[in-house]
Amino acid sequence: MAETTSVKKTFTIGNDLTVNRMGFGAMRITGEGIWGPPKDKDEAIRVLQRTVELGINFIDTADSYGPNISEELIAEALYPYPKDLVIATKGGLTRTGPNVWPINAHPDYLQKALEGSLKRLKQDRIDLYQLHRVDPEVPYEKTLEFLQRAQEEGLVKHIGLSEVTVDQIKKGQQYFNVVSVQNKYSVDFRTKWEDELKFCEEQDMAFIPWNPINAGNVGAISKLEEIGKKYDASAHQVALSWLLHHSPNILLIPGTSKVKHLEENYKAASIALAAEDIKELDQLKQSEK
């Protein structure tokens, strides 16, 4: 019998928010291009409600998803929230049209973004507020000072960063306790951020890969499908399972607008990959996309 590896089921963010490592990303419950309302609002509501029914208690969203739509739907579907539900949101990207994401991490803009998120989510405090992007046009220190102040004022409980280097994380740590890092990362796109993942492990920070099923090259898809046959699993399920096996600090936030797809993603958490399969996936050719 092939040797399997055990996977930790939960992770504690900031020493006090224990969540299941299979979470949900609420970007795709919006319209095409992450713009406007979803084509099927009823299905989007069902997706959110089914998320909680499955035992998922970590939902990741952002004010820019829609914009505003994702946060509004979360509140409509789930408020009043279950006691153990952690809703993480983000600020720092603006929207001018479908698939267009200008950066704005100026304190004045972030203030409005945070106030809007609190109102839409019907909360007095955000459990995990994440800087969506570092703004090259705004001194990083000014952005960090705003986040520090928001935490001191009790508007956010914990703070995370997204698409950041180790140096940028360390800079953030000078202002507040960085509890999470959300960078693009997947089984076939990880070379760029491997140092950041290791740093998160050393510092006991959550590492939240966005686009976790990138599968950006044919070689990756074929290998994932080949391994999936052993577990009666899809390529996407294997890609998600590999992430859970790869690091105990990884929290998964695959997104979808369909209940069926949500349930398929959730099943990935119960796949126990054999050590030999993990080794094969570890050696996958890396995508540049």
Q: How far is CA 53 from the centre of its chain?
A: 19
Residues 6+ apart with CB under 8 A from 80: none
Q: Find tokens 């590999």 and name the residue.
A: 242
- Residue with tokens 């698409």, as numbered in its chain: 163
The set of residues, in sequence order, having a beta carbon less than 8 Å from that of 4 and lying 6+ positions away, is: 272, 273, 274, 275
Alpha carbon distance 283, 188 (integer Å): 9
Chain position carrying tokens 């001194």: 139
Measured in Å, how far apart are the chain's first and last C-alpha atoms?
36
Q: Does residue 198 contact residue 215 with C-beta atoms inside 8 Å?
A: no
Catalytic residue, candidates 65, 109, 129, 185: 65
Phi, psi of 58 (to 5 degrees): -135, 115
Whether 109 is a known active-site residue: answer no
Active site residues: 65
